[in-house]
Amino acid sequence: MATSPLERLLPEPAANWPAQAESLPDLATLFRSHFDFVWRVARSLGVPAASVDDAVQDVFLTVHRRLSEFEGRASMRTWIYAITYRTAQNHRRRSQRQRCDALLEEPLAEGPGPGEQLEHARAGRFVMKFLEGVSAEKRDVFVLSVLEELNAPEVAEILGVKLNTVYSRLRLVRADFRAALDRAAAREGTR
Amino acid sequence: MMDVEELERALLEGARKELAPSASDRMRIQSRLVGNPAWFLPAPALRPSLLRGLTRSWQGGLGLGFALGALLGFGAARGVERALGHHSAPVEAATALAAPGSAASLLPAAGELPAGSAAAEPGAASPPELPSGELAAVQPAAVQPAAVQPAAVQPAAVQPAAVQLAAAQFAAVQLAAVPDKSGRTPHARGAGAAGRRPHSSEAEESGSTLARELALLQRARRALNRNDALLALGIVQSLDERFPNGVLMEERVATRILSLCQLDRADEARAQAQHFLLEHPRSVYAERVRHSCAGGR
């Protein structure tokens, strides 16, 4: 197929972006830089396995679309966390407590509990199982503060709650986690 | 035995690894996103209204058919013939298309415009140096608030530069292709159009939407040229989503049919083509479609 004369005349728009536009990344760049944690957060925030692909795709399309609104108040990463969080919430609501994650259906007691030879898969299952058992408020704080290691002000910003709320939920959920660990360790010990 | 804190750390570390995406997760999501034109477009920044002068007065007209024919490289010569009923035009237009030409080289075929008309000026092909008539037609006069523009929620909204380029292309081809019946030069016509509707937000809206639609369509066409029919098809799909009532439907369907052919999806191409040829038997793209895998020959 021949290129029309006008097309030959005009370079690809991409080669012609004004300097100002160069600071705004395209979707490919955003994806490369942020895919891992977006995926991880979408999964751990309780998006059903069947919807994780959709949720992650939504996150990137939203981030790209709203990039011009990004004000730089928080870091880009925190901003993307916030979008991921909201998207995950939507997908969670949509799936209305559907429990289709096969990972979670496997009873914890069947495998060896968390111990020295703990495999990643088992650790993942343990944590997912734990997250499944706590309230959404505690889980969100646990995922962002403990798993993702964001600081408390960032978590407050993302969740849209007061800093003190983050601290108190964090205390509670850490205690829950420790208790779950103790139970698992005790089970391990009694074998 | 590990102490509890150590165990906790090990667990969390293991969980992070377990929750990380696998290579196939990455590939799967990436392949979904690659089909989106935003994949290679920088994120939308400012949204100036770009196409003030490009009003509906010529949308869907034969001039547009020609313009798209030329821009998309489909049967442009036939477009000229039909647009002007000019018997010598096809030959001349074909020559112009074959030559490593410029917009100006299309002119004699398109409308036998008087020397010195707008599009014949060197500036016609280069947006930053547009002649004043075109400036009046193309240049933004006000920044449109993003909230007002439905396109603001479209992931693939095109950068101003791209829109401007597309607008300039449109303006140039439009001016070249459709001499005004009143006898005014296209140059004067462009200025007149802007003058008549200097503050029509509807015109702005339709103009910039059209430019975005065109920009995407051109990308689809380029992808097709590079034998990347999958991408072309992805772009056509997102055109369907973003512009369900687009202006450039004939071009879109033709691009889809040719993409399907390139992907050896002849059955789907034929189904599309049947519908297309029934609806637009005299389309400038009909010949192209008839000669494709969908033409049943």
Judged by DSSP in three states, A142 sits in: helix
Q: Cβ separation of B18 and A27 shorter than 8 Å?
A: no
Q: What ipTM goes with this model?
A: 0.72
B138 vs A161 pLDDT, higher one: A161
Q: Mean per-residue pLDDT for A54-67?
A: 89
For the packed helices A27-44 and A52-65, what is the interaxial angle rounded to 10 degrees? 140
Average pLDDT over residues B239-256: 86
CA A2/CA A13 separation, integer angstroms: 19
Contacts of B176 (CB under 8 A, 6+ apart): B103, B106, B107, B110, B111, B113, B119, B124, B186
CA distances A124 to A55, A113, B109, Å, are: 20, 12, 69
Interface test with A, best of B4, B26, B29 (most A CBs within 10 A): B29
Q: What is the pTM of this model?
A: 0.43
Q: What share of chain A is helix, strand, coil (3-state, %, to 5)?
A: 75, 0, 25
C-alpha distance across the termini of chain A, in Å: 72
Span of A19-23, A43-47, A179-183 with lowest mean pLDDT: A19-23
Nearest CA in chain A to B156: A65
**How much of chain B is in helix, strand and coil states, percent to nearest 5?**
70, 0, 30
pLDDT at B91 > cutoff 90: no
| Residues in contact with A81: Cβ distance below 8 Å, sequence separation at least 6, in sequence order | A37, A41, A144, A148, A150, A154, A158
From A143's Cα to the closest Cα of chain B, the distance in A is 10
Q: What value does the mean pLDDT take over residues A158-184?
A: 93
In this complex, do A7 and B101 lie within 8 Å of one another by their Cβ atoms?
Answer: no
Task: Tell whether B35 lies on the interface with A, counting CB pairs under 8 A.
Answer: no
Give me the residue from B13, B43, B102 closest to A9, CB to CB: B102
**Average pLDDT of the residues in B139-154:** 38
Report the pLDDT value the prediction gives residue B208, as an integer from 0 to 100: 73
pLDDT tens, position by position, A92-147? 877 654 443 433 333 444 444 444 445 677 888 888 889 988 999 999 999 999 99
Confidence at A26, pLDDT banded by 50, 70, 90: confident
Facing A116 at nearest CB: one of B2, B4, B45: B2
Minimum-distance CB partner of A13 among B10, B100, B215: B215
CA angle B245, B249, B254 (to 5 degrees): 150
Residues in B touching A2 (Cβ below 8 Å)? 73, 97-98
Q: Say yes or no to pLDDT of B7 above 90.
A: no
Among the partner-chain residues B161, B224, B225, the one whose CB lies closest to the CB of A17 is B161
- B157: helix, strand or coil: coil
Cα–Cα distance, B16 to A90 (Å, whole number):
23
Closest residue in B to A177 (Cα) is B8
pLDDT given at position B14: 86
CB pairs under 8 A between A and B: 204
Question: Which chain B residue has its CA at the smallest distance from A129's CA?
Answer: B15
Q: Do A5 and B12 touch (CB under 8 A)?
A: no
pLDDT at B18: 83
Please report the pLDDT score of residue A190 as a whole number: 61
The CA distance from A40 to A148, in Å, is: 9
Mean residue pLDDT of chain B comes to 59
Confidence of residue B206 (pLDDT cuts 50, 70, 90): low
Q: What three-state secondary structure class fits B48?
A: strand
Q: Distance (Å, rounded) from C-alpha A177 to C-alpha B3? A: 15
Question: How many angstroms separate the CA atoms of A139 and B236, rounded?
Answer: 41
pLDDT at residue B233 greater than cutoff 70: yes
pLDDT score recorded for residue A88? 92
Q: Average pLDDT, whole number, for chain A?
A: 76
Smallest Cβ–Cβ distance between A13 and the set B2, B39, B161 belongs to B161
Task: Name the DSSP class of B74.
Answer: S
Residues of B in contact with A25 (CB under 8 A): 42-43
CA atoms within 13 A on the CB side of B259: 24
Residues of A within 8 A of B162 (CB-CB) are: 13, 16-17
Interface of A with B in 115-134 (CB under 8 A): 115-116, 118-128
Q: What is the pLDDT of residue A173?
A: 95
CB of B230 closer than 8 Å to CB of B263: yes
Give the C-alpha separation, B114 to B105, whole Å.
Answer: 13
Nearest to B130 by CA among B178, B168, B175: B168
Residue among A120, A8, A67 nearest B45 (CA): A67
Residue B209: band (very low, low, confident or very high) from pLDDT cuts 50, 70, 90:
confident
Is the confidence at residue B201, as pLDDT, over 60?
no
The per-residue pLDDT for B249 is 85
Name the DSSP class of B143. Answer: B
Q: Residue B210: what pLDDT?
A: 78
C-alpha to C-alpha distance for A59 and A80, rounded to whole angstroms: 8
Position A60 pLDDT exceeds 50: yes
pLDDT of residue A84: 94
Residues 82-101 of A with CB under 8 A from B: none
A144 in B contact zone (CB under 8 Å): no
Query: Is B77 within 8 Å of chain A by CB?
Result: no
Per the structure block, which two tokens stand in for A34? 């942020």
Closest residue on chain B to A1 (Cα): B225
Residues 57-86 of A with CB under 8 A from B: 57, 60-61, 64-65, 67-68
* Cβ contact, residue pair A64, B40, below 8 Å: no
A32 CA: distance to closest CA in chain B (Å): 9
CB-based contacts of A146, cutoff 8 Å, min separation 6 = A170, A173, A174, A177, B12
Give Cβ neighbours of residue A41 (< 8 Å, ≥ 6 apart): A81, A84, A85, A88, A143, A144, A148
CB pair distance less than 8 Å for A125 and B18: yes
In angstroms, the separation between the Cα of residue B226 and the nearest Cα of chain A is 10
Interval B84-98 mean pLDDT: 38
A79 interaction partners in chain B (CB closer than 8 Å): none
Contacts of B208 (CB under 8 A, 6+ apart): B49, B50, B51, B144, B149, B151, B163
Nearest residue to A6 via CA among B107, B154, B203: B107
Interface contact flag, B29 A177, Cβ < 8 Å: no
Collapsed DSSP state (helix, strand, coil) of residue B116: coil
- Model confidence over B19-57: pLDDT tens digits? 888 888 888 888 888 777 667 666 555 333 333 333 333
Q: Tell me the two tokens of residue B57.
A: 């007065």
Residues from chain A that touch B70, judged by Cβ atoms under 8 A, are 4-6
Any long-range contacts for B225-233 (C-beta under 8 Å, 24+ apart)? B225/A1, B225/A3, B225/B73, B227/B262, B229/B258, B229/B259, B229/B260, B229/B262, B229/B263, B230/B35, B230/B259, B230/B263, B231/B34, B231/B35, B232/B258, B232/B259, B232/B262, B233/B35, B233/B259, B233/B260, B233/B263
